[in-house]
Amino acid sequence: NSNSECPVDSEELGRSGWTVLHTMAAYYPENPSENVQKDMKNFMTLLSRLYPCKRCAKDLRKDLKDDPPDVTSQKSLANWMCNLHNKVNEKLGKPLFDCSKVNERWRDGWKDGSCDS
Ligand code: FAD
């Protein structure tokens, strides 16, 4: 649907959802306090209960149980989020993302300068 002023489907919700999640990980502190680490864990748990795509939320609850968020640093959280997204990519038959480039994609821009204005 070319009209952007309409309710979203699970694909569009997903694209916006990943934008929020990867950008949160991109700007997560290098040295997070205990409280910040707890908040991030709670955020993911609550997202897995409230995410408005029921089957996605169900799988997310299982993924969080199997591999809990690594909230100890920016790098570890960004990498963990990338792996989480790759699990969904794999399930949906989408290409896997190279997680060594996650900070280029979501924080610094590509090394070739293509994101510089
Ligand atoms: P998306 O997968 O939305 O990716 C957007 C952009 O992120 C890509 O263009 C790429 O630049 C970048 N990217 C891709 N992979 C990675 C990665 N591993 N790390 C960092 N950046 C990356 N859909 C379902 O059908 N079933 C589900 O169970 C399901 N679970 C979901 C769970 C969550 C928490 C979220 C946020 C979404 C979920 N979705 C699910 C939606 C699905 O993941 C996609 O968002 C949707 O299918 C649209 O896909 P897309 O090809 O446009 O790109």
Q: What is the pLDDT of residue 3?
A: 79
Q: Is the ipTM of this complex over 0.90?
A: yes
The first and second tokens of residue 4, run together, are 């952007």
Q: Is 11 in the pocket of ligand 1 (CB under 6 A)?
A: yes
Read off the pLDDT of residues 31-54 as tens digits, 9 standing for 90 and up.
999 999 999 999 999 999 999 999
Q: Is 45 in the pocket of ligand 1 (CB under 6 A)?
A: no
Q: Is 15 in the pocket of ligand 1 (CB under 6 A)?
A: yes
Q: How confident is the model at residue 1 (pLDDT cuts 50, 70, 90)?
A: low
First vs last C-alpha separation in the chain: 29
What's the average model confidence in pLDDT over 2-7?
Answer: 84
**85 CA to middle of ligand 1, Å?**
6
Q: What is the pLDDT of residue 2?
A: 60
Q: Which atom of ligand 1 is least distant from the CA of 81?
A: 19
Nearest alpha carbon, ligand 1 atom 30: 56
> Which domains occur in the chain, in start order?
18-106 (1.20.120.310)
The mean pLDDT value of the chain amounts to 97
Q: What is the pLDDT of residue 62?
A: 98
- What's CA 100's distance to the chain center, in Å? 15
What's the average model confidence in pLDDT over 82-90?
Answer: 98
**35 CA to middle of ligand 1, Å?**
28
Burial per residue of 26-48, b for 16 or more beta-carbon CB atoms within 10 angstroms, e otherwise: bebeeebeeeebeebeeebeebb
